[in-house]
Amino acid sequence: MNAGSQNAATVRDRLRAQLKDLDTLLGDVGPSDARKALVQTRTSMQAQLNAIVYPVLTLPPEVVSEIFIRTLSETRARPNVTEAPLLLCTVCSQWRTIAIFTPALWSSIELTFKFSLFGSNFLALLDLWLSRTGHHPLSLSLYYDEYTVTKNRPQVDLVVHLLLRHSHQWADVELKLPDASGFHQFKGYHYPALKALSLTHSVNTSIPPVASFTNAPSLTSVQLSAGSAADPIVLPWPQLTSLKCEALYVHDCLGLLRETTQLVEFTVYLQEGGAEIQHLPFLILPTLRSLHLLREECHMDLLQYLTLPALETLSISFENHGIPRFFAFLSRSACPLHRVIFDAWPFDQAELVKCLAAMPSLQHLKLWRPQYFTDSLLLQLADPAVLLPNLKSLELNHVYPIQFTMPALVGMLSARSNAPVRLQSFQTVLHKASMVTDPVSEICLQALVASGMKIQINYH
């Protein structure tokens, strides 16, 4: 705050305090010449207060508009007078005008429908909010449960239809409905700007196919949650590049992957069961670069049918019987893996070395609960000519029991710091009672940090 703005603030506060005192006096003084004098004094002081120019109000409207936009939360806005953008409209008439004519302020909205939301003027307020978006792309979240739709079906339908009047602006949309039948009301509309879509509902396999968003030529990213992936939702699968699914059987997952021929990123929570899988030909996905297989069930049941020649990022949990099929997957795909996250792995040391040797392009390795990380393995990792010549970061989480020593770890880090491709980052979480440190190792670690390597060793 500069001297001018500080002086204005001081004068403003003084005048407001004096006006407050005058108002108190006026309340105690009856009609008289003294009261007239007090009223004249108050009028003069109010004029002085109104004449103060606040520096922020001298900024060009386009600058204030940009400041408003940058104050918005990363989450979608809720229609609440205590939060932006409605809060900005309550400050002064100038801010209100700027806010109203800044479409980006109104282009994000979260609607969670409960009984109390359906007041007499709710639809009018929502219509006003949406009208202020102009032609700006719209990011919206819509949620209502079974109770809400049962008690308020007419109002819910009116709200949905009002939102659909702006379907041409929908860009990033999240819909949480009681079941898939609710998506029929979105059918027949055009969604030219829709790029990202998230659908959540309970499973309902008794309804016919729901082709609600097939007319969305820009849609590339979809998230299907809580039963959405295996039921009648129909989407423009061939154009998707990013897909996340929950509670999906392996058989259904393979069927979905056959449809998504342009997929670049795929995340899936697999579950056991579903239709029996007969012997199938390998499914080649030439564009898939990122694969995240979450939870521990059935991962190898899926990977044994996939060939992913472009895969760069892999996150996976292992079952005890899955190692041979994983090696076969690596050999078959010959993929340029750059980043790998292994969890719940059953490797012994020889199998781990074989696995790492099969991934020479790997740059970032993250291991959860590694069981066979020994001095012998660290010695092999110390030589990039033997294992992982391109490794840049290594993370070991929840190592227990600890089967390596601190000098061996420091030796590996020191060797990697001088390799043609330097190790830039090392993180680990260790069991404190199982790790013995020594002064020499501590000094070496400090020297590595001083040389630029990021080292973080935590204990639990």
Q: Report yes or no: 143 and 113 within 8 Å, Cβ to Cβ.
A: yes
Interatomic CA distance for residues 141 and 159, integer angstroms: 13
pLDDT of 4 over the 80 cut:
no
Q: What letter represents residue 306's amino acid?
A: L
pLDDT of 262 over the 60 cut:
yes
Q: What is the pTM of this model?
A: 0.82
Question: Which band of pLDDT confidence, cut at 50, 70 and 90, is reported for residue 202?
Answer: low
pLDDT digit string, tens, across residues 99-138: 999 999 999 999 987 655 566 688 888 999 999 999 999 9
Residue with more model confidence, 408 or 230: 408
Work out the average pLDDT over 236-246.
94
Supply the mean pLDDT for the chain.
86
pLDDT of 31 over the 50 cut:
yes
What is the token pair recorded at 420?
């043609």
Interatomic CA distance for residues 423 and 417, integer angstroms: 6
Q: Is the peptide bond before 286 cis (omega within 30 degrees of 0)?
A: no
Q: What is the pLDDT of residue 207?
A: 60
Residue with more model confidence, 268 or 351: 268
Interatomic CA distance for residues 112 and 142, integer angstroms: 6
pLDDT of 165 over the 70 cut:
yes
Work out the average pLDDT over 133-152.
87
Residue with more model confidence, 111 or 34: 111
pLDDT of 12 over the 90 cut:
no
What is the token pair recorded at 293?
């297989």
Q: What is the pLDDT of residue 319?
A: 64
Burial degree of 63 (CB within 10 A; 0-12, 13-18, 19+): exposed
Question: Which band of pLDDT confidence, cut at 50, 70 and 90, is reported for residue 6?
Answer: low
Residue with more model confidence, 327 or 35: 327
Q: What is the pLDDT of residue 1?
A: 46
Chain-centre distance for alpha carbon 95: 31
| 61-65, 150-154, 257-261, range with the lowest pLDDT | 150-154
Q: What is the pLDDT of residue 275?
A: 63
CB burial readout 278-317, b (16+ within 10 A) else e:
eeeeeeebeebbbbebbbebbbbbbbbbbbbeebbbbbbb
Q: What is the pLDDT of residue 242?
A: 98
Q: Report yes or no: 302 and 253 within 8 Å, Cβ to Cβ.
A: yes
Q: What is the pLDDT of residue 114?
A: 65
